[in-house]
Structure 1
């Protein structure tokens, strides 16, 4: 990849709503809301995850492979103003992300099976995706849908997000379908707390989070939704 990768720490936790209200109350005095939030302090994320003919991303995660990658198309608030095709790279507890913008027409072409729109030698990620789709049958697998409440702190470049109402679109693959009606993929009382940072977390944020008392989890939203799909629709991996 010609884009220089910037790896960051990423920690994930399952928390319940009682923990959420407690932690959020502490953080509100220490961190700022992300500039992209709406009036409620949140925004909606919908991603379409891809995997190859061997379900490599799924099986590597389930198998505990520490260095791996995932591909997804991501949109916000079910709008097409921003459409990104992203590659998320994981090395142990570190993550990096590279992405390219798509137009709505490019998205529709990809979904129709016309991968030539990605045949862009001047854009390494697009060429990687093009080759994965042609040679490894990289295809859409599952929609992951949730509401995010994000906070940021420039000291340490810390980003803390509360990801609520994790849902999946089952066998649907059109992320722009406003009638999708995705179904809940985890317990109603649970959400995912994600903590991302560069080199360190300031002590005052560590104290507010009290991470030692939380339920650290490693399952990705992609895996949670694929497993939900398998157990509720008899999908075969």
Structure 2
């Protein structure tokens, strides 16, 4: 039995409401994780509760900022919002065969003023994943706010000191992969030019001057269960596009 998982940074769930609802209705994922929802339980559009899915929300303390939301066809065994973070960046849904971790990693900012905070977040996240893996494997998805390798960014040389492509952020991504996590997209696709985020400026999306900063990473134990991993490039509504993973697993 296979499960379909989707992740999407919507850059505001209210602004992307129609596109997000249509995505769920057309793709019918078993689980979908949204990042940067910029909403809470009171302001998430009610239509998301009318789809027949379990809806779980982890908002930021600051209104209209950050936050994650996950929808699942089946009620999770447990829902964990216990990652120490006031910005609603991490949400864990436990299912039969794996933990689904919906994550919105901090942006280190143009002036790199949040680089230290981001690196601390990365280290804590890796420890958190290792703790969960003692019980069962994980599928962690979301906006990692880093292009891992040169193949993951259209203009690597021009961006090598910029937020999202600094040596430090890339080294942290190395640590995730080095721990045994697998970048699912690269199991199936080794080609350049596959991106998940484009700047709104300079018609970057039309020119495909983008970055691949959204990922599904899975525990090594799940690698043989990966059926496909893809980027849903035609979906509009955000500066990111959704990514999709199919696993031969149960929820």
TM-score by length of 2: 0.25
Q: Greater relative contact order: 1 or 2 (C-alpha under 8 angstroms, separation 6 or more)?
A: 1
Larger Rg: 1
Give 1 or 2: higher strand fraction.
1
